[in-house]
Amino acid sequence: MMNELTSKYIVVEGPIGVGKTSLANKLALEWDAELVLENVDDNPFLSKFYKNSRQVSFQTQLYFLLTRTRQVQAFKQRDIFATARVSDFMLQKDRLFAQVTLNNEEYDLYDQLYSYMTVDIPKPDLLIYLQAPADILLKRIKKRGRDFEKYITKDYLEKLNSVYLKFFSTYNGSPLLIVNAEDIDFVNNQKDYSNLLDKIYSVDKGKHYFNPLASIINE
């Protein structure tokens, strides 16, 4: 069981507003693990991107690629087996966002850079994918009130949901737990959190599903 292990790399992923950072924080505390969070707020192009995505889309995406790669490579260079690590992003997410934000010419150039910079990146021992409908994501984004996120549209979130779903439908790089996060509150509801934690402990290999409103299905 995972709570008995001392050398795990766990990644929580999903679209904007789904609860990645909140869950990553709780899991890191649960396991006394190192917390690795992406530096979203530091991107100087992000506010302009949400106002007019075409104007600075390539700059925004390139900045994220550079900073995310730097973060992953930094803890890779340390002893990855020294402690458990919980992160709220996987490096592959950068390519998913690029598919939504860049035009064909920009993406071709971006993809060459991505392929060069992401050689031999570490794979998670467990990947937790949180998903929720776009209207729920938009509601949560508005509730947290980040100024640079006020221009995010439902259409943009639907596109993100689509590329995430396509990616994870064929993902087999590590054990995967897909969580329906639409009606789960693992921050304020201890029962929700405990049920999710029990499910995480039960994941061994392959693809698994956790839906609080339905029976749990395993593949």
* pLDDT tens profile 98-154: 999 999 999 999 999 999 998 888 889 999 999 999 999 999 999 988 888 888 999
Q: Which CATH architecture has domain 2-210?
A: 3-Layer(aba) Sandwich (3.40)
Q: Where are the domains of the chain?
A: 2-210
CB 121 within 8 A of CB 74: no
- Cα 203–89–152 angle (5° rounding)? 120
Residue 199: how many other CB atoms lie within 10 Å: 19
Looking at residue 40, its pLDDT comes to 80
Please give the model's pTM, rounded to 2 decimal places.
Answer: 0.89
85 close to 36: Cβ distance less than 8 angstroms: yes
Residue range 1-16: average pLDDT? Answer: 72
Angle at 159 between CA 158 and CA 160, to 5 degrees: 90
Token pair, residue 35, equals 């917390």
79 is catalytic: no
Beta-carbon-side half-sphere exposure of residue 49 (alpha carbons within 13 Å) = 22
**Structural contact between residues 156 and 54, judged by C-beta atoms closer than 8 angstroms:** no
97 in Cβ contact with 61 (< 8 Å):
yes
Confidence of residue 218 (pLDDT cuts 50, 70, 90): very low
List pLDDT tens digits, range 17-46: 999 999 999 999 999 998 999 888 788 888
Q: What is the pLDDT of residues 50-83, one digit of tens each?
A: 887 778 999 999 999 999 998 888 876 666 556 7
pLDDT at 43: 84
The 8-class DSSP code of residue 88 comes to S
Q: Give burial (CB, 10 Å; 0-12/13-18/19+) of 144.
A: exposed
Helix (H), strand (E), coil (C) string for 200-219: HHHCCCCEEEECCCCCCCEC
Q: Tell me what pLDDT residue 22 has.
A: 94
Task: Say if residues 3 and 201 touch (Cβ distance below 8 Å).
Answer: yes
pLDDT of residue 1: 43
Say if residue 5's pLDDT is above 60.
no
State the catalytic residue, choosing from 41, 88, 135, 198: 88
Interval 175-187 mean pLDDT: 92
